[in-house]
Amino acid sequence: MEIEIAKSYGFCFGVKRAIKIAEENPGSSTLGPLIHNNMEIERLERDFNVSLATSLDDVKDGEATVIRTHGIPKEDLRILKEKGGKVIDATCPFVTKPQQIVEQMSEEGYDIVIFGDVNHPEIKGVMSYATGPVYAVLGVDDVEKLHLKERVALVAQTTRKIEIYNQIVNYLVPRHKEVRVFNTICNATFENQDAARDLAQRADVMVVIGGKQSSNTKQLHSICKSFCKDSYHIESESELRREWFEGKKLCGITAGASTPEWIIERIIGKIREFKV
Amino acid sequence: MEIEIAKSYGFCFGVKRAIKIAEENPGSSTLGPLIHNNMEIERLERDFNVSLATSLDDVKDGEATVIRTHGIPKEDLRILKEKGGKVIDATCPFVTKPQQIVEQMSEEGYDIVIFGDVNHPEIKGVMSYATGPVYAVLGVDDVEKLHLKERVALVAQTTRKIEIYNQIVNYLVPRHKEVRVFNTICNATFENQDAARDLAQRADVMVVIGGKQSSNTKQLHSICKSFCKDSYHIESESELRREWFEGKKLCGITAGASTPEWIIERIIGKIREFKV
């Protein structure tokens, strides 16, 4: 039986990259949890001596620190650098980009509207790069309350939905001389779904890996099941059954956004051991 | 009886300005008809010796020429200047602006999409200022056929509807890194309607001046009638009747977009003569 992994699955590009950076910097600490998966955080501590600093106060003077995918506010970066340790920036490039855009648009005199949650670390970081007026909004209702200048620049939190972004754009265009829209939305979740759909259409059996409570994994499983009736949602290799694979030609694999690579590899290894 | 003219009426700002410029330059010719109203063109020729050049070939060497509100292509401007006569630019500032935007956005490397009619003189002029890729579209159907780069700048013909402009923006935002939207739509027609509505709500009698076939004048009349039952649509002072104004306190005046100022003034003079 052939095993094929979906073209896009599991962690997004930015999280994969941050984990790789942490692994390459043993003995460092990460400022905040690198990902929302305790098994993975424990693995990094056990295998790579990468510990967790829950806040800036937790970072010891001279200690190497990894900045996670979300990024951090400009002022926090300054404080971190003052502590004298190596600062390892694992901020996702898709998050660094809106930070840079906000900085530049502020300098060029635009009022800045960020489509995102003012309490989310990513948005706290992005907003901190403004040197002029900057507002975080979650929809048109919030935008209506603002008093904006003639020229407005728009950026979005990477995980937001494009439809609501377009509603905000539609509200602003008739009311302003210039609306400069930067599409900073990242389609990682949709890419995983598209790739799962593509693979499930060709596979005889699909294994969907991720937490049983994970809503994005359940969504992946539901998509796979509609194209391949023999689709199974599992959390670990102990759930695998040899009979699922007997007589099959192609086994497809996908995983939810919070599933570490090593869990996926362990499961693929186990399927190979069945020698079907 | 008091007479009040609507806050916005008749010719738009750009046409009023062009006529004033023509009047200030007796002996000049206009490149193309200054406005779509023959009575007004005849008046300019009779009273100000301003003639009509139907094309560049019509312009004599050394002759002073007025560029009308629509503007002209960059290359035509060069040829006109070579003829050696004074070039009097009556291009509406609301049209000059998109010309400048297109020139600057081209220089900055944006692909340019213009929401407008490629055969309209205004759009021919605006497009001519691009030094890179530039496309005129009338809706999303046209945009779908284009192969655009990551960064797109959008401008609109001054008379277009914002709703369709927003549809184009909505199509482009998810597909491009940056969409820079310039709101170059001019709301002159809507301003006349808003002002007529406002005045008709307070007036006892409304006089709406403009061609009987003029669709925008008919629309103004319809708006006025819904707020002031004694609303009259007339073309000239000969249609006025004294009894319309008897016992009235406030007479409101508005005019369609193709109605010259002097016709309006003549009608107001006649109403005053009634001494009601």
Same domain membership, residue A108 and residue A67: no
Count of other CB atoms within 10 angstroms of residue B109: 12
Query: What mean pLDDT, rounded, does chain A reach?
Result: 94
Same domain membership, residue B228 and residue B203: yes
> Which pTM was predicted?
0.80
β-strand pairing of A178-182 with A231-234: unpaired
Residue B42 region, left (φ>0) first, then alpha (ψ -120 to 50), else beta? alpha
Helices assigned H by DSSP within chain A: 13-23, 38-48, 74-82, 93-107, 121-127, 140-144, 162-172, 188-200, 215-227, 261-273
Q: Does A143 touch chain B (CB under 8 A)?
A: no
Q: Out of B173, B176, B182, name the one closest to residue A169 (CB).
A: B173
β-strand pairing of A178-182 with B178-182: antiparallel
Contact B178 A173 (CB under 8 A): no
Q: Out of A166, A173, A183, name the one closest to residue B165 (CB).
A: A173
Res B265 pLDDT > 80: yes
A140-178 tens-digit pLDDT: 999 999 999 999 999 999 888 899 999 999 999 999 999
Residues 6+ apart with CB under 8 A from A231: A200, A205, A206, A207, A208, A221, A224, A225
Which 3 state secondary structure label does DSSP give A179?
strand
Instruction: Write the burial class of residue A274 (CB in 10 Å: 0-12 exposed, 13-18 middle, 19+ buried).
Output: middle
CATH number for the domain spanning A69: value is 3.40.50.11270
B70-82 tens-digit pLDDT: 999 999 999 999 9
B244-262 tens-digit pLDDT: 999 999 999 999 887 898 8
Among A158, A164, A167, A183, pick the best mutation site for testing chain B contact (most B Cβ within 10 A). A183
Domain's final residue, options A136, A162, A181: A181
Same domain membership, residue B50 and residue B21: yes
In the chain, the amino acid numbered A136 is: A
Same domain membership, residue B104 and residue B87: no
In the residue annotation, B273 being an active-site residue is answered as: no
Q: Residue A258: what pLDDT?
A: 78
Q: How far is CA A276 from CA A228, A240, A244, A249, A255, in A?
A: 19, 13, 10, 9, 22
Q: Out of B162, B165, B182, name the one closest to residue A178 (CB).
A: B182
Instruction: Spell out the SS3 assignment of A27-52.
Output: CCEEECCCCCCHHHHHHHHHHHCCEE
Same domain membership, residue A105 and residue A62: no
Q: Which of residues 83-142 of A touch B (CB under 8 A)?
A: none
B144-180 tens-digit pLDDT: 999 999 999 999 998 888 999 999 999 999 999 999 9
Q: For chain A, what is the domain count?
A: 3
Same domain membership, residue A143 and residue A216: no
- What domain range includes position A56? 13-91
The secondary structure of residue A68, as a DSSP letter, is P
Same domain membership, residue B165 and residue B234: no
Count of other CB atoms within 10 angstroms of residue B6: 25
pLDDT along chain A (276 residues), means of 10: 95 90 96 83 94 93 93 96 95 95 98 96 96 98 97 94 95 97 88 94 96 82 96 95 97 92 94 93
Tokens of A243: 């009979």
CATH number for the domain spanning A215: value is 3.40.1010.20
Residues 6+ apart with CB under 8 A from B275: none
Domain's final residue, options B59, B91, B123: B91
Same domain membership, residue B52 and residue B20: yes
Domain's final residue, options B56, B74, B91: B91
Same domain membership, residue B156 and residue B227: no
Sheet holding A65-67, edge to edge: A51-53, A29-31, A65-67, A87-89
Q: Residue A273: what pLDDT?
A: 95
Contact B173 A180 (CB under 8 A): no
Q: Residue A160: what pLDDT?
A: 86
